[in-house]
Amino acid sequence: MEKEILKIKEEILFKAKKIKDFELLRDLETKYMGRKGEFTKVLRSLSGLSTEDKKKIGRLANTAKQEIASAFTELKNTLTGNEKESDFVDVTLPGKKEERGHKHPISILMGDLEDIFTSMGFMILDGPELESDFFNFEALNIPKTHPARDMQDTFYIDKPNKNGELDLVMRTHTSPVQIRAMREHGAPLRCIAQGRVFRNEAIDAVHDTTFDQIEGFMIGEDISLCNLVAVLKEMLSRVFKQEIKVRVRPGYFPFVEPGIEVDMSCTICGGSGCPSCKQIGWLEMIGAGMIHPKVLKYGGIDSEKYSGFAFGMGVTRLAMMKYGIDDIRLFNGSDMRFLKQF
Ligand code: FA5
């Protein structure tokens, strides 16, 4: 019986596929599958079987019947040029709403910063993330043997140059753009450069290995620390749309003299102390100072005539303070629940 069912199924499918005329196909269907059709007869004869055989062979017969039915539907559709139901497009249905992406919070903040600085006459520059040892360290007055190299441990690219030295690094800060800009544009100069920087760093709530910085520098005659503090205060009050408490303390960076660190009152805890500000109520936000004469020299600028300030701010930390985010890891974590809030 099983063989008979399979044989008749193959016979029907074989004949059906050869037919190129709709009416003939319908005739074939009636011949086999109609009330008195040959396949229907075989199905009817199952009633005489034992219960166990009925179960087993019945299942096979049903599958065969379904296969034949869908083959007939498909062939009929092909012959009449009808589309399959799944291909049918109902143009009257309302369209599917496409989910649109939006800018990352860091990009939003960077856009705001660009607006603020361009309104103060700063031009926007860019620099490579893969930097030479020369621009990242050497020209910023950090010679190879200088202990200041330890302040910014980085990722060296494992491809030695002709002298066997590893001279390509993932930039540890945006400061190399200072030298590139001085060499290209000379003085006077007023620029910002934003972008990603990389450090071999122990990660915690305020330290990441990949984060964003903005570099700002102004070179001209008679530029002083007063200009620097005024620009920074203006920038912070425009980012936060309110007066922001900052404190300035001495800081050491080999590429400035004197050097300062600018801390901001922690907006997460309001200054009372929390893990984001390491319980001190202040968060280190900006490194800055007057550009070292040696750096001006590396940039090809006459340090007798010109002076300048420079600062480097952690944009990721600024975003933490602006949006009240207590963990820096969220920015690079790709968690949609976080990102969709902006
Ligand atoms: C520098 O990177 C200097 N290039 C800044 C500078 C520029 C000084 C020009 C003088 C003149 P520092 O390592 O302190 O300095 O980093 C600057 C800012 O980047 C910090 O104040 C902080 O806001 C942010 N930052 C530093 N390390 C991290 C980190 N691991 N994760 C997130 N933000 C960081």
Write out pLDDT tens, residues 96-139.
888 888 999 999 999 999 999 999 999 999 999 999 999 999 99
Q: Is residue 210 part of a domain?
A: yes
E-only strand ranges, the chain = 123-125, 130-132, 168-170, 189-198, 210-220, 246-250, 256-265, 282-291, 307-314
Sign of CA dihedral 133, 258, 319, 103: negative
Q: What is the pLDDT of residue 234?
A: 93
- Length in residues, the chain: 342
Q: Which of 265, 15, 287, 320 is nearest to 140 (CA)?
A: 287
Tell me: do 167 and 278 sit in the same domain. Answer: yes
Q: Is residue 318 part of a domain?
A: yes
Number of domains in the chain: 2
- The helix/strand/coil state of 202 is coil
What atom of ligand 1 comes closest to residue 283's alpha carbon?
Answer: 23
Would you say the CB of residue 288 lies under 6 angstroms from ligand 1?
Answer: yes
Tell me: do 162 and 285 sit in the same domain. Answer: yes
Write the CATH number for 199: 3.30.930.10
What atom of ligand 1 comes closest to residue 213's alpha carbon?
Answer: 19
Report the b/e string of 253-288 with b at 16+ CB within 10 A: bbbbeebbbbbbbbbbeeeeebebbeeebbbbbbbb
Q: Which of 6, 3, 1 is nearest to 63 (CA)?
A: 6
Would you say the CB of residue 181 lies under 6 angstroms from ligand 1?
Answer: no
CA of 289 to the centre of ligand 1 (A): 13
Q: Indicate the residue among 28, 49, 83 that finishes a domain.
A: 83
Tell me: do 293 and 193 sit in the same domain. Answer: yes
Tell me: do 47 and 127 sit in the same domain. Answer: no
Tell me: do 189 and 68 sit in the same domain. Answer: no
- The helix/strand/coil state of 296 is helix
Q: What is the pLDDT of residue 278?
A: 86
- At 282-302, the pLDDT tens digits run 989 999 999 999 999 999 999
Tell me: do 129 and 209 sit in the same domain. Answer: yes
DSSP tag of 277: G
Would you say the CB of residue 312 lies under 6 angstroms from ligand 1?
Answer: yes
The number of beta carbons lying within 10 Å of the beta carbon of residue 21 is: 9
CA of 314 to the centre of ligand 1 (A): 6
Structural contact between residues 170 and 211, judged by C-beta atoms closer than 8 angstroms: no
Distance of CA 34 to the CA centre of its chain: 61
Would you say the CB of residue 32 lies under 6 angstroms from ligand 1?
Answer: no
Which domain covers residue 166, as residue numbers? 105-339
From 70-79, 179-188, 248-257, the region with the lowest mean pLDDT: 70-79
